[in-house]
Amino acid sequence: MIIRVVLALALSAPPVMSSSAPEPRGCPVAMPPHTTCGFLIVPERRDAPDRKIKVGYAVRHSMAKDRKPDPVVYMSGGPGSASIQLTGFLSAMFPDRDVVTVEQRGGKYSEPTLGCPETAAALLGQLRRPAADVGAAAVKCRDRLREQGVDLRGYNTKEIAADVVALRRELGYESWNLFGVSYSTRVMLDVAAADPEGTRSVVLDSFLPESVAWYDDADRNLSDTLARLGVEDGFAAMSARLNASPALVPTTDPMLGRGFTARMSGDDVATVMVEALHEADVAAVAPQLLPALARGHDELLRPLADAVGQGLVSHEFGLYHAVQCQDEVPFNTFATKSRLFTVNVDKAVCDALQLPKSQPVNARPKAPVYVLGGRHDPTTPVRTARPAAGDLPDARFEEIPRAAHAVFLSSACARAKIAAFVADPVVTAFTLCMDDGRDRPVDLHVTGAPYQISRTPWLAAPFALFALAALVQLVTAALKGRATAAFGGLAGVAFAGLVTQSVYGLATRNETALAVGVPGVVAPYTWIAVASAILTAAVLLRHRRWPQIAATAISGGFLVWWFTWFL
């Protein structure tokens, strides 16, 4: 979610009364050693500087003997995503530099925090019928924030970029390296242009240029990603089926903490997939997921519906709306209605809020710039990022084959290349990140059971009971010299071990795949369990005692559960 950027030319010089000395604070989340946190006190609007707000930040001080003087300053995307919680992750990338993580004004760790539960609830309400009135919800949120003294006109890229410039000066760093991802690439590009003497290098991960109309491109971006993954046909069949007959999906409202039944059409699933495909692990299972949905496996919609709720608590939507409505929405035509409800919701919110349109900046940084894009990114695609990087004065672009959105979070190769660029932004020679297979299709037996078990572990009780009974049978029969019973127990233990090993192996490679199914080899293992049950029943025919009766009942009950529910 990206925005139009505005940055006054006067930003390159310190504005009068722009900020005061940083205010120390306790860190709001667990931090690595040698980290301090604070607030930068800044005007809510620099053209009307009386009201002050607090911008949160953290500084992890490097203790390395070869510590470099210029730190890395990072900001997350969104708009409205938090940054401070990534301090430790980034410190591992740059152990020889201080790492500064700066929050967006109005974000989770800044004050005030511009949450907007009214529109978050209305957005989740798009999965109910009748859909919620998002425009009315936005007005209610705006009025509540206004009563608290908040002026939404002060929450835009112009002011966020000015905060970063002011923070460098207040912390006393002579220069630093800017690191932005998704929305904050626009922030950092403008900081570099406004503060050239304080900018040593710029990293732009998942860059969407100011000249690109994100909302007008959103449908095409999804279609292009599906085409690159080779799943257009499965997606089209899924969409047609669910648009004709939407699925009813149980899920949870994260704000109210109670369940409800979502009504998901094909277009609703398309909207959720835009966010889901940010992850390379999801791209790897899309060739299994979409055809399965087309065939009627509606149980696989549960993790997608749950993801909507989880996304609603990951952003501060008051800040998101303020930025989008000033810096992004006004620069799109909305010539045709999108199939993506998030696009239509943002347009409705901005029509209701009536915030002023910003002015484009066309930032031209002087420092070297490294731009990274994920091959399967449905939000900031290579199609637009590559030519925009070519238009910057001193920039290089690289496509990361195994990644999608925010490549540094998923690609170790990308992290190493970012660190190498920051170490030597002028003459660094790049080698390609090779495709390691993370985004290749995964062989799965489609079932929604593993996801349900992950949410309600007791549902796996039949499997655990079968494995335990088989182990007891193996040990007791071996001690008594009963070969048939021992082989029955051995087969059960072997089945449980093979299934566990296969599922664990898949989880270590691609945990997301378990929301779609289990490794394809698991289904053939079923015959080992059947053999165990047959051998156990054969023992019962000769020894009609309670241990044999219990073992046979457990084996039979497990197979009923396995065939009718799990598989």
Give 307-362 pLDDT, tens digit per residue.
887 777 678 999 999 999 999 999 999 999 999 999 999 999 999 999 999 998 88
Q: Are residues 54 and 185 in the same domain?
A: yes
Which domain CATH number covers 16? 3.40.50.1820
Domain contains 126: no
State residue 129's pLDDT score.
67
Q: Are residues 389 and 256 in the same domain?
A: no
Give 83-94 pLDDT, tens digit per residue.
999 999 999 999
State residue 110's pLDDT score.
97
Domain contains 133: no
State residue 3's pLDDT score.
34
What b/e string do you get for 58-69 counting C-beta neighbours within 10 Å, with b at 16 or more?
bbbebeeeeebe
Give 526-539 pLDDT, tens digit per residue.
999 999 999 999 98
Give 369-426 pLDDT, tens digit per residue.
999 999 999 999 999 999 999 999 999 999 998 789 999 998 999 999 999 999 999 8
Q: Are residues 222 and 93 in the same domain?
A: no
Q: Are residues 46 and 70 in the same domain?
A: yes
Residue 463 has pLDDT above 90, yes or no: yes
Question: Structural domain tally of the chain?
Answer: 3
State residue 429's pLDDT score.
60
Percent of the chain surpassing pLDDT 70: 93
Lowest mean pLDDT, pick from 15-29, 188-202, 287-301, 450-464: 15-29
Domain contains 137: no
Residue 27 has pLDDT above 70, yes or no: yes
* Paired residues of 35 in beta bridges: 60
User: Last residue of some domain: 301, 330, 353?
Assistant: 353
State residue 542's pLDDT score.
79
User: Last residue of some domain: 306, 331, 353?
Assistant: 353
Q: Are residues 463 and 512 in the same domain?
A: yes
Domain contains 252: yes
Domain contains 134: no
User: Last residue of some domain: 303, 326, 353?
Assistant: 353
Q: How far is 66 from 18, CA to CA, in rounded Å?
A: 34
Q: Are residues 26 and 172 in the same domain?
A: yes
**Cβ-defined contacts of 381-388 (< 8 Å, 24+):** 381/221, 381/224, 381/225, 383/224, 384/208, 384/209, 384/212, 384/217, 385/206, 385/207, 385/208, 385/209, 388/207, 388/209, 388/211, 388/212
Q: Are residues 301 and 408 in the same domain?
A: no
Q: Which domain holds residue 343?
A: 214-353
State residue 89's pLDDT score.
97
CB 321 within 8 A of CB 110: no
Contacting residues for 368 by C-beta, under 8 A, at least 6 apart? 201, 202, 394, 395, 396, 421, 425, 426
Q: Are residues 103 and 250 in the same domain?
A: no
Domain contains 34: yes
Q: Are residues 192 and 239 in the same domain?
A: no
Q: β-strands 72-75, 247-253: how paired?
A: unpaired
Q: How far is 514 from 496, CA to CA, in rounded Å?
A: 17
CB 519 within 8 A of CB 444: yes
Domain contains 486: yes
Q: Are residues 74 and 92 in the same domain?
A: yes
Q: How far is 159 from 562, CA to CA, in rounded Å?
A: 58
Residue 246 has pLDDT above 90, yes or no: yes
The pLDDT mean for the chain works out to 90
Q: Are residues 218 and 205 in the same domain?
A: no
CA-based angle 321:326:331, to the nearest 5? 115
Q: Are residues 406 and 529 in the same domain?
A: no
Domain contains 485: yes
User: What is the average per-residue pLDDT within 55-80?
Assistant: 96
